[in-house]
Amino acid sequence: MAEEHVITDSEERIFVAGQMQLMWWRFRKHRVAVVATFVVVAFYVVVLAADFLAYTDPNTTEAYRLLMPPQPIRFFDNGSFRPHVYAVSGKRDLKTFKRVYVADPNKKLTVRLFARGYKYKLLGFIRTDRHLIGVEGATAAESLFLLGTDEKGRDVWSRMMVATRTSLTIGLVAVALSLVLGVFLGGISGFYGGAIDSVIQRLIEILRSIPTIPLWMGMAAAFPREWSVEQIYFAITIVIALRGWTGLAREVRGRFLSLREEDFVTAADLAGCSRKRIIFRHMIPSFQSHIIAAATLSIPAMILAETALSYLGLGLRPPAISWGVMLQQVQNVEAVALSPWLLVSAVPVIVVTLAFNFMGDGLRDAADPYGI
Amino acid sequence: MLAYAARRLVLAIFTLWTVTVLSFVIIQLPPGDFVDAYMAQLSATQSNVSEQHFESLRRQYALDRPMYVQYLKWMSGVFSGDFGTSMMWRKSVLDVIGDRLAMTMVLSLGAIILTWAIALPIGIYSAVRQYSIGDYVFTFIGFVGLGVPSFLLALVLMYLGFTLFDSDIGGLFSPEYQLEPWSWGKVKDLIYHLPLPAIIIGLSGTAELIRVMRANLLDELRKPYVITARAAGMSERSLVLKYPVRVALNPFASTVGYLLPYILSGSVIVSVVLGLPTLGPLLLGSLVAQDMFLAGTIVMMLGALTVIGTFLSDLLLMWIDPRIRFGMVQ
């Protein structure tokens, strides 16, 4: 007689856990992915509270504060905790014609939390003028420069907060569009097979074998000059999604092909389920986690696409603010050498790309039922 | 085998055709036709513009005829080596492009060769010494390589080059060779300048390839034939290099297909950042100036390069993978 297997508590929990619960347990073990998820969430908090975290209106230009280097906040004043910044005054160096800035250690401006600043709507509907930080006794635009200012005298920190909102939502919108196209075309391809499958597969192969950046550049250059910021925003997401759906479609098709032969699908078919019900009720729930992982992994590519296009001056244009638009100001060695702090917008691009990649990897591993 | 090659060829030709259509669409995208833009530009700079000249241009490009006629007209020009006129430079497109196409090819080829040269040994090392410190280091570098877009890497390296070494890492030639005709000295100068941009462009591809190589080799190393060979007393070195590596090599040929569009895309934007004399900066300039025949031609050339490269990699794959040669894999 075979020895009886005793079902332990933890095993029983695994038997009754749903797909999402299992995924969560496996995802939790992937330390890097969990950390990456926190990073991504933090970035989206910035997206929601961009105006609150900024302290100067990102479009305000300050003619006397051009290309200011970053200025540190001093936390202690004579041993007591009192965050402050020194007041600065700018002069033109008559030899080099460069603006130089001198901090005056005698004039201290207190930095305080929840200070009043420019008016905005928090989350789009709460009218307020409170910002996370601000200075007393002067306007923030003239005295607070955590990350310096750009060549028009606009505050880099505040612009970066607002740019985060643009760059990260453009990634989501583009992925959403790609997902719709990818699931639809990939689903048709995998479910019906045959001639329609060949046509879609060849289309994907062709699209994937054309270098994307030149193609995007060509299309983006054709956006009329008079288009508004919003119109260009959506046009860009469409241009990016036109290529982005191919990867997701392949994923969906692969899943459909492997599931089509599964017993539970045959069973559903024999039980008289309609095609629609088989697809939406039985097939999609069993691979939606893979699709979520694949979509997560494709977000960074979309963000990079927008950044690259805007950097070249073919994507979003001022007054829109995105990481790429901000990086436009560092096009050559001279700009990089004279104002290296403008490169700071590259940091969030790199961090968020890595975070999405790690998070997507973790999700993919967690979604794989045969993974360890 | 022939069926495989023939199918690839048909697909390549079809893709090439799609590329020409897309390029033509790009030429047509801006509002107004090419002659309108040309006319506006000419009358801005010159006072005496002859109406007849424009009429003959319109006839030449069949602008008064339907779209497909215009496309056919353009294509027949392309086949006889006439890619149209560049408005910005007032020269034929081919003259403007000059040796930039060759430069783009040299740069992309350099990037691919470096990608392979770096990824192959590292991939083998990471698989054979799985979970060693070296493996972790390379995995980390690989992830960073995947995450950092090439043009940002170029920017950062440019800054580091400037602050640490006080040198401009841009360009493919030293200033003294910039305008010189080709000579041995210039070729040597090019070889000296090529590796850095090539590494920048190839980095993300390298990272990907290391991961693929490592995974494939790990799968192979666990197979019984490896254990048999080891049990028979074969030296570890020739054991790894002779059999599993050869099987795991397939991605090197097959990834050219997706590596090439990737690398050409990267070369365009990295060239803009580093000011390399390739098609990239020219494409950007022509798009900004709405010089559409030039832009369309460049997009077409980049697309054609990819398609031809992909086709060659398919043939290469056929050569190294007997499963395809003997028609066992579709």
The per-residue pLDDT for range B166-199, each reduced to its tens digit, is 666 666 777 666 666 777 777 777 777 788 888 8
* Chain-chain contact of B269 with A206 (C-beta, under 8 angstroms): no
Enumerate the β-bridge partners of residue A130: A116
**Residue from the list A215, A308, A327 with its beta carbon closest to the beta carbon of B22:** A215
Contact (Cβ atoms closer than 8 angstroms) between residue A294 and residue A248: yes
Residue A1 has pLDDT above 50, yes or no: no
Backbone φ, ψ for residue A133 (5° rounding): -130, 165
Q: Which own/partner pairs from B226-229 qualify as long-range (CB within 8 Å, at least 24 positions apart)?
A: none
Residue B32: pLDDT over 70: no
DSSP label at residue A149: B
Helix (H, G, I), strand (E, B) or coil at A100: strand
Out of A145-149, A175-179, B307-311, pick the least confident: A145-149
- Domain limits of chain B? 2-92, 99-325
Q: Which value does ipTM take for this structure? A: 0.78
pLDDT confidence of residue B330: 45
The structure's pTM equals 0.82
Taking alpha carbons only, the member of B268, B133, B144 closest to residue B208 is B144
CB–CB contact B147 A215 (8 Å): no
Class of domain B99-325: mainly alpha
- Say how far apart CA A320 and CA A169 lie, in whole Å: 13
Contacting residues for A338 by C-beta, under 8 A, at least 6 apart? A67, A98
The CA distance from B292 to the nearest CA of chain A, in Å, is 9
For chain B, the average pLDDT equals: 80
Residues of A in contact with B288 (CB under 8 A): 221, 313-314
Beta partners for residue A135, in sequence order = A111
Chain B contacts of A205, Cβ < 8 Å? 11, 15
Check: CB of residue A334 under 8 Å from CB of residue A19.
no
Tokens 């910035």 — which residue? A46
Interface check B247 vs A, CB under 8 A: no
Residue A190 has a pLDDT of 82
**Residues in a beta bridge with A100:** A91
The pair of three-digit structure tokens given for residue B115, joined into one six-digit string: 């990608």
Within 10 angstroms of residue B116's Cβ, the number of other Cβ atoms is 21
Q: Residue B290: which region, alpha, beta or left (left: phi > 0; alpha: psi -120 to 50)?
A: left
Bigger pLDDT: B166 or A339?
A339
Q: Is B256 on the interface with A (CB under 8 A)?
A: no
Handedness of CA A275, A279, A281, A286 (dihedral sign): positive
* B290 in contact with A, Cβ within 8 Å: yes
Question: Distance from A107 to chain B by nearest Cα, in Å?
Answer: 33
- Please report the pLDDT score of residue A372 as a whole number: 47
Ramachandran category for residue A223: left, alpha or beta (phi over 0 → left; psi -120 to 50 → alpha): beta
Check A314 against B159: CB less than 8 A apart: no
Q: Which of residues 296-315 of B touch A (CB under 8 A)?
A: 296, 298-299, 302-303, 306-307, 310
| CA atoms of A28 and B14, how far apart (whole Å) | 47
Q: Is the pLDDT of residue B202 over 80?
A: yes
